[in-house]
Structure 1
Amino acid sequence: MQALLSFDQAPPISAPFRFFLTAPVFALLAGLLLLVSGPQLLASRWTPAALALTHLITVGFMLQVMLGALIQILPVVAGANIAQPLRIATGVHALLVPGAVLLAIGLLLSDALALQLAAVTLGLGVAIFLAAAGHALWGVPSGNPTILGLQLALVGLAITAGLGIVLALALDGSFALPLLQLTTIHFAWGFVGWSTILLAAVALVVVPMFQMTPPYPSWFARFFFWSALVVLAGWSTAHLLEWYQPAAVLASGMLLLLTVFAALTLHLQRHSKRARFDATQQYWRLAMLSALAASALSLISLLLPEPAASRQLPLLWGVLVLFGSLMSVSTGMLYKIVPFLVWLHLQNAGGGRILAPNMQQVIAKRQIDHQLHAHLTALVLLLAAALQPEWFTYPAAVALLVASGWLLRNLLAATAFYRQHRQRIVSLARATPAPRPG
């Protein structure tokens, strides 16, 4: 897998960084919304505040991190160069940020105009990215599992965004649509068809390379991506047509696939050559354990419908999936991607004459560890709030604010480190003659 990597194709550092620096701001907004709304937010997963918070995480945090990472990953891992990546990144980012804000406002206030504007801006932003990424991937052989996974993840993003646009336009009752069913399908495509497939495609490269584990087995790399997409498409059809038995069987198939991915990743981590796990590995472990717990809750809901009808079970599942799994693995990836990009671009700025500082210096290890502890505390309190909102909602909101603020602080520190050292390295490189050949 590592033979795929081509670091000389990396886009300008500001292209992915604008997404990375914006993501924690939306997590902070989610914490503020939970703090202001209080226990009423957790009265049901369908409260306007709960829907707004969910999309602050999925569209505000997750989509920002994922698109920023893809702008970097596509040329480096897949050899798919996005034309004018800085211009594309600027335009997409300028549409996604107000679109995510409008979507949260529209859901919170049940404002049809805000939802319509969100549908337009988010739809346009995602469409521009899909067009640029699809054009870059067009013609790239998909024989490699990572490239196939990236291609199918873009299909999942397109379907997720399309369903979201339909729902945003239909929430005012203008269209006679089965909204609850479409909402469930929309979330499933966002979680499995987009996020999980993308994560698995990236994991094939980054887990063995950065975490020093054995590679994923060839059978997993060959069969996971198409299996996940086909089972998801079959389940979506059965769920929409209210074919309950086939839908339950296909849902079990999806849970099995997710369980295999999470369990296999944990198994590979156990065989890591690292003497001690760093924060990135801890975040991945937390994400995989949360995914396994969410799969167990989903299985309970399939086998025991009465407990599944309770308020707590869907909220627990949502916390495990959104915060425990997706936000954890995204944060862990940021702590690996951001220092590496800073080092790579500083190394390039030196022109081979001035060496860049070590990656470990970009963000202080103690700051990463402190933020990891804050994140774990927030997860525990959010799970407790799902069970006892009157007792734990406000502590959970404060913990989420602390964890998100700490992440933003660490990313800003990395940005300041880059700017400071780039200026010094460029000055030294200009004053240092290039080595003579031979």
Structure 2
Amino acid sequence: MQALLSFDQAPPLAAPLRFFLTAPLFAILAALLVLWSGPELFASRWTGAALALTHLITVGFMLQVMLGAMVQILPVVAGANISHPRLVATLVHAAIAPGALLLATGFLSYQPLAFWLAALFIGSGVALFIAAAGHALWGVPATNPTIRGLKLSLLGLTVTVCLGVLLALALNGSLALPVMQLTTIHLGWGLVGWSVILLAAVAFVVVPMFQMTPGYPEWFARRFSWSLLALLVVWSVADTTDRRWPSLLLAAITVLAVAVFAALTLHLQSRSKRARFDATQQYWRVAMLSTLAACSLWLAATSWPTLAERPEWPLLCGVLALFGGFMSVMIGMLYKIVPFLVWSHLQNLGRGRAIPPNMNKVIAGPQVHRQMHAHFAALVLLLAAVLWPQWFTYPAGLTLLLANGWLLSNLLAAVAFYRRHRLEIEALTRTPAAVAQAQQ
């Protein structure tokens, strides 16, 4: 897989970085929402505050990180260069960020205009990204599981956003649609058809490379993404046509497939050649354990009526999947992607005449580990808040605020590192000796 990478085709640093720096801001807003709403937030998964919190994380945090990662990954991994990446990233970011805010506002106020504007902004931003990324991937042969997964994830994103736009229009009264049924299908496509498939496509490269593990089995990597997508298509048809038992069976198979991916990743991690796990590996481990727990809880609730009747289980499942699974793995990847981008762009600026500092110095290791521990504490407190909201809601909100404020601080430190060393490199390469050497 390492032979796939072509770092000389990386886009400008500002293209992915704008997404990465915005994501923690939405997580901070999510923490403030927990503090503002209080224990009532955990009364049901259908409260306006719970829905606003969910979309601050999924659209505000997750979508930002995933779009930024794809801007970087497409040219490097797939050789698919987005035309005018800085312009595309600017326009997409300018649409997605206010769209996420409007969507959260809509769930908190149920103002029809907020939902309509959210659908317009998010829909247009994602449509532009899909058009640009699809054009870049057009004609690139799916010669390996990663490229195939990237292509399929774009299809999953398309379905997810189309369903989301329909739901937003239904909530503002423009369309009469079965909202509860569409919400279930929208959730399945968003978490599995877009997020899990993209995560797996990236994992097939980065887990063996950065975590020094054996590669994923070829049979698994080759079949996983399209199998998940096929299951989602058939499940969506069964659910739409009210075929209860086939729908439930297909959903269970899909959840089991996700659990297998998580368990296999943990198994590969156990065979890592690293003597000691770094923060990224710790984040991946917690993410995969949380994913396994979420899948196990979902399967238990669908087969145990007593558990299914309890209102806490969907909230527990959501915290495990979103905060424990996706947020954990994405923060772990940010601590690999951002330092590498900073180091790589500084190296290109130096052109061999000025060597940038070691990549591990871009973000101080102790700061990364402290932020990681704060995130893990926030996860535990959020799980406790679902069960005992009166006791743990405010500690969970404060810890979540601390963890993501720390994340933002660490990423801004990387930007400051880049700017400082860029000035030093530019000053060094402009000296008379350097100019004379360049002219020889």
Q: TM over 0.5: same fold?
A: yes
SS of the equivalent of 2:430 reads helix
Q: Deviations over 1:394-427 (max 9, x none)?
A: 1100011000100000000000000000110121
CA contact (8 A) 1:279 1:369 kept: yes
Please name the residue that 1:266 is paired with: 266
CA contact (8 A) 1:130 1:154 kept: yes
Q: Deviations over 1:54-81 (max 9, x none)?
A: 0000000000000001000000000000
Q: Does residue 242 of structure 2 align to residue 231 of structure 1?
A: no
Please name the residue that 2:391 is paired with: 391
CA–CA separation in structure 1 for the residues paired with 2:219 and 2:380: 35
Please name the residue that 2:353 is paired with: 353
| 1:308 shift after superposition | 1.4
Q: Deviations over 1:162-181 (max 9, x none)?
A: 00000001013442211101
CA–CA separation in structure 2 for the residues paired with 1:230 and 1:434: 61
CA contact (8 A) 1:353 1:434 kept: no
Q: Which amino acid aligns with 1:27?
A: A
Please name the residue that 1:289 is paired with: 289
CA contact (8 A) 1:384 1:392 kept: yes
CA–CA separation in structure 2 for the residues paired with 1:377 and 1:161: 32
Q: Which amino acid aligns with 1:73?
A: I
CA–CA separation in structure 1 for the residues paired with 2:305 and 2:88: 46
The answer to which of 380-389 and 174-183 deviates more is 174-183
CA contact (8 A) 2:113 2:172 kept: no
Q: Which amino acid aligns with 2:212?
A: M
| 1:430 shift after superposition | 2.5
CA–CA separation in structure 1 for the residues paired with 2:199 and 2:97: 23
SS of the equivalent of 2:73 reads helix
Please name the residue that 1:106 is paired with: 106
Q: Which amino acid aligns with 2:211?
A: Q
Q: Deviations over 1:315-369 (max 9, x none)?
A: 1000001100000001000000000000000000001111111011000000000
SS of the equivalent of 1:276 reads coil
CA RMSD across the alignment: 1.2
Q: Deviations over 1:108-154 (max 9, x none)?
A: 10011011001001100000000000000000001211000000000
Please name the residue that 1:2 is paired with: 2
SS of the equivalent of 1:139 reads coil
Identity, in percent, stands at 66
Please name the residue that 2:50 is paired with: 50
Please name the residue that 1:124 is paired with: 124
CA contact (8 A) 1:374 1:403 kept: yes
Q: Does residue 5 of structure 2 align to residue 27 of structure 1?
A: no
CA contact (8 A) 1:280 1:332 kept: yes
Please name the residue that 2:180 is paired with: 180
Q: Deviations over 1:68-102 (max 9, x none)?
A: 01000000000000000000000000111111111
Please name the residue that 1:85 is paired with: 85
CA–CA separation in structure 2 for the residues paired with 1:429 and 1:215: 41
| 1:434 shift after superposition | 7.4
| 1:436 shift after superposition | 8.0
CA contact (8 A) 2:115 2:172 kept: no
CA–CA separation in structure 2 for the residues paired with 1:434 and 1:256: 64
CA contact (8 A) 1:262 1:291 kept: yes
CA–CA separation in structure 1 for the residues paired with 2:61 and 2:349: 30
Q: Which amino acid aligns with 1:210?
A: F
CA–CA separation in structure 1 for the residues paired with 2:166 and 2:283: 34
CA–CA separation in structure 2 for the residues paired with 1:90 and 1:3: 30
1:10-409 paired onto structure 2 within 5 Å: 10-409=10-409
| 1:309 shift after superposition | 2.2
CA–CA separation in structure 2 for the residues paired with 1:82 and 1:176: 38
| 1:281 shift after superposition | 0.3
How many correspondences in the alignment? 438
Please name the residue that 2:411 is paired with: 411
Q: Deviations over 1:275-311 (max 9, x none)?
A: 0000000000000000000010011112113311211
